[in-house]
């Protein structure tokens, strides 16, 4: 089972909210991170899409076309390795 846990850190504003997330497969956490820059008016689906798109591996052979993203900034930690990624579009 894939489980995505999201919660608001109560930091930021409606136009620039901060969330933390963790992704689990069954009871094993595979990634965690923080998203800043989410506009709450864009809705929860945009928040989830931004996190998912950040973690996708583009495959040109599959015709992958990146979807334009909002100004989300995603900081992540993958399994036990600390990896920080910052992205602004």
Comparing CA positions, the residue from 87, 44, 43 lying closest to residue 69 is 87
pLDDT of 56? 76
Sheet containing 17-25, strands listed edge to edge, beginning at the edge strand earlier in sequence: 2-12, 17-25, 28-38, 73-78
Domains of the chain by residue range? 2-78
pLDDT of 65? 60
Q: Do the Cβ atoms of 40 and 82 come closer than 8 Å?
A: no
pLDDT in tens, 20-68: 999 999 989 999 999 998 999 999 999 998 888 888 766 655 666 655 5
**Does residue 18 register a pLDDT over 50?**
yes
Task: Report the C-alpha gap between 6 and 24 in whole angstroms.
Answer: 12
pLDDT of 4? 94
pLDDT of 53? 84
Confidence tier at 82 by pLDDT (50, 70, 90): very low
């Amino acid at each position: 089972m894939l489980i995505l846990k999201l919660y608001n850190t109560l930091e930021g504003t409606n136009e620039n909210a901060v969330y933390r997330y963790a992704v689990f497969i069954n009871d094993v956490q595979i990634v965690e991170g923080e998203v800043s820059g989410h506009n709450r008016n864009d809705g929860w689906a945009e928040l989830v899409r931004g996190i998912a798109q950040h973690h996708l591996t583009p495959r040109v052979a599959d015709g992958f076309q990146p979807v334009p993203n909002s100004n989300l900034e995603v900081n992540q930690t993958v399994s036990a390795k600390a990896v920080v990624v910052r992205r602004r579009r």
